């Protein structure tokens, strides 16, 4: 499993979760604090100071108090994700399908092979695809709001 954080300019952090690791609120918070914040500082200088709009789905690990308190402590603005709406998660409708196109049909012998193939799949995505993902996401959010409920294809 990988945790992938991206914006309109591309991937900020791709974090391979070690096999056997349980992703709970404490683990997720640690990744945000020890991996994502330094990656933002390195790849998007000034962004931490100017403000972060942060979106993730409403999985229990994301909505746990430890995580929401952490985000609030750094003054990251959390964009709400409607319940039962996986079609509003850019990873689900954009990033993962594009990665699958690249990875389809491959077999992997080791965890390191998977990590390397994932890295290559992400590098093969052009910058425009991230802009498109966020434009599509905004359209889906708008449809959800206008229809009084979740966007369904």
Condensed to tens digits (0 to 9), the pLDDT of residues 48-58 reads 888 888 888 77
Helix 111-123 and helix 96-103, axial crossing angle in degrees, nearest 10: 120
Instruction: Read off the pLDDT of residues 21-34 as tens digits, 9 standing for 90 and up.
Output: 999 999 999 999 99
Return the exposure string of 134-147: e unless at least 16 CB atoms fall within 10 Å of the residue's CB, then b: eeebeebbeebeee
- Check whether 70 has a pLDDT greater than 70: yes
pTM above 0.75, yes or no: no
Q: Of all residues in the chain, what percent carry a pLDDT higher than 90?
A: 24
Instruction: Tell me what pLDDT residue 92 has.
Output: 66
Q: What CA–CA distance (Å, rounded) separates 90 from 133?
A: 6
Instruction: Tell me what pLDDT residue 150 has.
Output: 60
Per DSSP, the three-state class of 26 is helix
Confidence of residue 69 (pLDDT cuts 50, 70, 90): very high
Q: What CA–CA distance (Å, rounded) separates 93 from 99?
A: 11
Q: What CA–CA distance (Å, rounded) separates 83 from 142?
A: 15
Q: What CA–CA distance (Å, rounded) separates 55 from 90?
A: 9
Instruction: Read off the pLDDT of residues 87-120 as tens digits, 9 standing for 90 and up.
Output: 666 566 677 777 788 888 988 898 889 888 888 8
């Amino acid at each position: 499993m990988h945790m992938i954080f991206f914006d309109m300019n591309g991937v900020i952090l791709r974090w391979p979760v070690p096999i056997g690791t349980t992703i709970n609120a404490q683990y997720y918070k640690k990744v945000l604090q020890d991996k994502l914040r330094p990656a933002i500082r390195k790849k998007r200088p000034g962004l931490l100071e100017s403000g972060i709009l942060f979106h993730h789905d409403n999985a229990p690990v994301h909505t746990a108090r430890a995580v929401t308190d952490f985000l609030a402590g750094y003054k990251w603005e959390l964009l709400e994700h409607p319940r039962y709406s996986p079609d509003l998660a850019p990873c689900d409708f954009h990033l993962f399908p594009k990665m699958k196109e690249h990875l389809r049909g491959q077999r992997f012998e080791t965890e390191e092979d998977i990590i390397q193939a994932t890295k290559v799949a992400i590098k093969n995505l052009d910058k425009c695809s991230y802009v498109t993902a966020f434009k599509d996401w905004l359209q889906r959010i708008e449809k959800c709001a206008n229809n009084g409920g979740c966007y369904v294809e």
